[in-house]
Structure 1
């Protein structure tokens, strides 16, 4: 799986072979079953994840006991709780596997050590994470400005790789709509796809 990370990083910058080996050696491969938590919240998040296969969600428990899905992340994305990771502050958010997930993991301590040996890597990874976070925020804010039915339509157009792999309740939580509405809209999408001979 480390090859997947190297291939991803090389989309942004060519990496010498020696550096590739150094990076690969510092990331540990882990598998998490569906529903398990990579980070349970209310403590400092001290790990950075790279998703090789599967979908993660970042969620927060609201006062009334409901869960709010903040972000959905899929393959070839980094995942951490940035404020907690950078400033060593306890985070209320949690990170959960929405299906069986394979990730590469590095601790903050080991990442800092890696950055000391490869200073350019910090600039590269920071830029990738910041760009991804900005895009995620822009997309989610755009959804919330739309009427509920249009949110789901845009969601499946923007993120089809995630839309049909995520449980209905989590999609509803992410889009800020009721599960009943998502269920109805999904049925409409399935019917339209069936009429056009498309299989999901």
Structure 2
């Protein structure tokens, strides 16, 4: 719980009464490896804060291939934002790569926090903006790189993840086959 509060405090001030209210709304969930936090076709009803573990956001393309869009590790929020905000079915999956501990807040509790804590919406907007900017800064440069450079970029940007994520997920994220990734790793 402390990690969540410390993270929120990076984006705005909260007094002890506000912190206690937030804590009262948070529920800790254990999500076993390979289980879904959010599934395509279902409406996202809660937002999560990863206190331990790694999740991946993925979808299936028209060919039925599983594509990993990105990873969410500790001390980050996770949600299918379109589904959550618009109350529409999600188009992607959020899956545990490892056993995860996630602190969740329901949509209704988030609305109550918004009505009760004066600067709550400002804090959430700053967090959302930072997450989107981080995502663009990580993904955009990798789009035009060849497979070896993509992997080296991945190693540089996610050194704490590389030995914790299965190669198949890393290959999917990089848009290459697992055998290509194995060859690249041997040559590095």
Do Structure 1 and Structure 2 share a fold, with TM-score over 0.5? yes
Structure 1 counterpart of 2:86? 87
Structure 1: distance between partners of 2:146 and 2:87: 38
Query: Do structure 1's residue 58 and structure 2's residue 42 form an aligned pair?
Result: no
Q: Which runs of 5+ in 1 are unaligned?
A: 190-200
Query: Do structure 1's residue 9 and structure 2's residue 8 form an aligned pair?
Result: yes
Structure 1 counterpart of 2:28? 29
Q: TM-score, normalised by structure 2?
A: 0.95
Structure 1: distance between partners of 2:35 and 2:94: 9
- 1:141: Cα distance to partner? 2.0
Q: Which runs of 5+ in 2 are unaligned?
A: none
Residues 99-122 of structure 1: per-residue CA shift (max 9 Å, x gap): 000010011111101110013112
Structure 2: distance between partners of 1:184 and 1:164: 17
Is the contact made by 2:11 and 2:126 (CA closer than 8 Å) also made in structure 1? no
Structure 2 counterpart of 1:119? 118
Residues 98-153 of structure 1: per-residue CA shift (max 9 Å, x gap): 00000100111111011100131121122212221222123112111111100000
Residues 22-47 of structure 1: per-residue CA shift (max 9 Å, x gap): 11110100111111111121121121
Residues 45-75 of structure 1: per-residue CA shift (max 9 Å, x gap): 1210000011011111122211111110101
Query: Aligned to 1:9, what secondary structure does the other structure show?
Result: helix
Q: Which consecutive aligned stretches of 4+ in structure 1 deviate over 6 angstroms post-superposition?
A: none
Structure 1 counterpart of 2:136? 137
Query: Aligned to 1:68, what secondary structure does the other structure show?
Result: strand
Is the contact made by 1:144 and 1:176 (CA closer than 8 Å) also made in structure 2? no
Q: TM-score, normalised by structure 1?
A: 0.89
Structure 1 counterpart of 2:106? 107
Is the contact made by 1:58 and 1:69 (CA closer than 8 Å) also made in structure 2? yes
Is the contact made by 1:6 and 1:20 (CA closer than 8 Å) also made in structure 2? yes
